[in-house]
Amino acid sequence: MTQVAVITGGGSGIGRAAGRKLAEAGWQVVLAGRRLAALEEAAAAHPALAPIVADVTIEAAVQHLFDETVRRFGRVDLLFNNAGAFSRPAPLPEIELADFSAALAVNVTGMFLCARAAFRVMAAQSPQGGRIINNGSISAHVPRPQAVAYTVSKHAVTGLTRALSLEGRACGIACGQIDIGNAATELSAGIARGSMQADGSIAPEPMMHVEHAAASVLHMASLPLSANVQFMTVMATNMPFIGRG
């Protein structure tokens, strides 16, 4: 039986790379995101990739995503809860409530809505169960300067991961979190050029190829449901994470 994965934020970056990696390993993969053109471009890389437009901050859109996935492919074995948003870098006193709320809407509420929808499908399907992998980021551990909203949201993802892991035991749903540091994507290009450090200086940071993040997602996804990577950190070896601040 072909396993079915849903990847949010699947049109670019880590989501796009993970989708291709899973498809190449024999999975049927639904790439979800807000931009149809980006999704179609990503899906063209492999016949097992299918685009579905969905805004994870909208409850009805998330429900449609999972209803449509089940209608087309019969079940959901994996959710890579990957969609995320960065807010504009700013010192804490200058952060607008709208910017803070927008980051949490995607990174927390969006992840919750997708996890809840996946959980409902996985608990009801036969064979029962599945796996949810949340993209936490190393900001789930330590902050970057001028990134309060992103840091708060990613710490919240860790709480979601733990809650899902606990509640999933009763119905064969495993949940883990991958915390990725400095994977080279379009969104992270600015970090490679120069990013603010804890002392206020600007310095370029080492990056790793996004394929290493995608391979790590595949490893987590490929485990039997009796085993789980609860938390994984994969990062550019020499990036300023250990000892940050």
CA–CA separation, 67 and 46 (whole Å): 23
CA–CA separation, 147 and 138 (whole Å): 13
Tokens of 54: 């969905």
Q: 224 preceded by cis ω (within 30°)? A: no
Query: 193 burial class (0-12, 13-18, 19+ CB within 10 angstroms)?
Result: exposed
229, 220 Cβ separation under 8 angstroms: yes
User: Is 150 a catalytic site residue?
Assistant: yes
> Which of the residues 117, 150, 161, 185 is marked catalytic?
150
Strand order in the sheet with 130-135: 49-53, 28-33, 4-8, 78-81, 130-135, 173-181, 231-235
Question: What are the distances in angstroms from CA 171 to CA 20, 119, 177, 215?
Answer: 29, 9, 19, 27
Q: Could you list the active site residues? A: 150
